[in-house]
Amino acid sequence: MKSRPLNRSTAAFLLTLLLSVGSVYGAYLTYKAVGEIWGRKVPLGRIELDLKPIPVIEGTEAREDYIGEMRVYTFSNNTEVIVQLSEVSQVVLNFRSFTVKMCRPLDVIFIVDVSGNMALFMPTVKKQLIDVVDVLATMTKAPVRFGVVAFKDYPDETSQLWLTADTPKVKEFISGLTASTGGGVPQSHYLGFQAALVNFMNASTTNEAKLEIFVSDAEAGKNDSPSFEEAKALAKETAANGITIYSFLAGPEVEPEYTQLKYYGDVSDGKFVVGVNRVVSAATSDPFWMAKLTPITPFDSFYLKLANPDGYMFYIWVDFYAKAIKWEEVFVVELMANLEKAEVRPKIEVVPKGG
């Protein structure tokens, strides 16, 4: 039985971090938000924060410090958590820069067309993908893993590397990719998406951010004949499983290649880019797995959509350039988190009698 939408409900709690030279006051906090369904109050979810000490600040220095973890559990597939910076004390006076970063664990799978017609583009593709590995691995302190799928025309031509945190192994696999045999068009895009989806389903250990980087110069096909339906269906299924697709068209802007690869990005709320020399810039700009807040004044906010009831993990960092902070000074950061927009009936825990 389908429930009526929840009334808009905001349940907030205040997270205060007292950061000082030589001493830090952390906290482990939980808060249960509640909404109303059919006149009955039920929980929307739970937010937990576990803070860690900040090392001593001495004089003028630039530094990035890990300050803790934030876990968010929601009972809805359409919930939004709003983390608001409600106060930053003495930032304007004592900091030249100050940024709060929240990073989620990230799984990335590269899907690469390795048919003969891609030979012209492969040196650039391989360099760009290896650079993506290096950049993403250094951009975040949260766990990040990579996998690779190489496809052509037929299922027995597909090869892959399962998701792993071993970046040297990933770069070695990418370096060994060779574009050979197979006609120029069409290519079996669906085989790449199919193998990547199996990789995610069997090897991914996160409910967090998942990304596919898809590269091809050809239109979609099946068994060397033009066909878009298989690839279209699997791209849609990929998106339905919370996986974002960034698609890159190697070669000129021609049809149906342009429209097909653009669909992959659009259906998953991802990106579509023409040109394989732009993979690094497109994959690392405005990353969906990292939220940054660089306050000039207080009251700045993160808006993060949550769609998985199993929970989300965020790693929180403070990145700053401090200008001659005196040892006795204390600066305060206050974050206020809200759970909103739960629109499906939440799971209600039933405790057996006597349990």
**For residues 64 and 299, what is the distance between their CA atoms, to the nearest angstrom?**
22
Domain boundaries, the chain: 11-104+290-340, 106-284
Confidence of residue 72 (pLDDT cuts 50, 70, 90): confident
Q: What is the dihedral of CA 161, 188, 261, 305, to 10 degrees?
A: -50
Single pTM value for the model: 0.80
**For residues 77 and 308, what is the distance between their CA atoms, to the nearest angstrom?**
6
- CATH code of 106-284, in short, is 3.40.50.410
Judged against a pLDDT cut of 90, whether residue 286 lies above it is answered with: no
Q: Compare 83 and 163 and report the one with higher pLDDT.
A: 163
Judged against a pLDDT cut of 80, whether residue 3 lies above it is answered with: no
Confidence of residue 53 (pLDDT cuts 50, 70, 90): low
Look at residue 308 and give its three-state secondary structure: coil
Q: What does the pLDDT look like over 177-214, one tens digit per residue?
A: 999 876 557 999 999 999 999 999 999 877 778 999 99
| Residue 43: C-alpha distances to residues 37, 53, 77, 339 (Å) | 10, 31, 14, 10
Confidence of residue 294 (pLDDT cuts 50, 70, 90): confident
Q: What is the CA radius of gyration of the chain?
A: 23
State the average pLDDT over residues 3-18: 34
Predicted local distance difference test score (pLDDT) of residue 5: 34
Q: Give percent above pLDDT 90 in the chain.
A: 45
Q: What does the pLDDT look like over 108-142, one tens digit per residue?
A: 999 999 999 999 999 999 999 999 999 999 888 89
Predicted local distance difference test score (pLDDT) of residue 29: 39
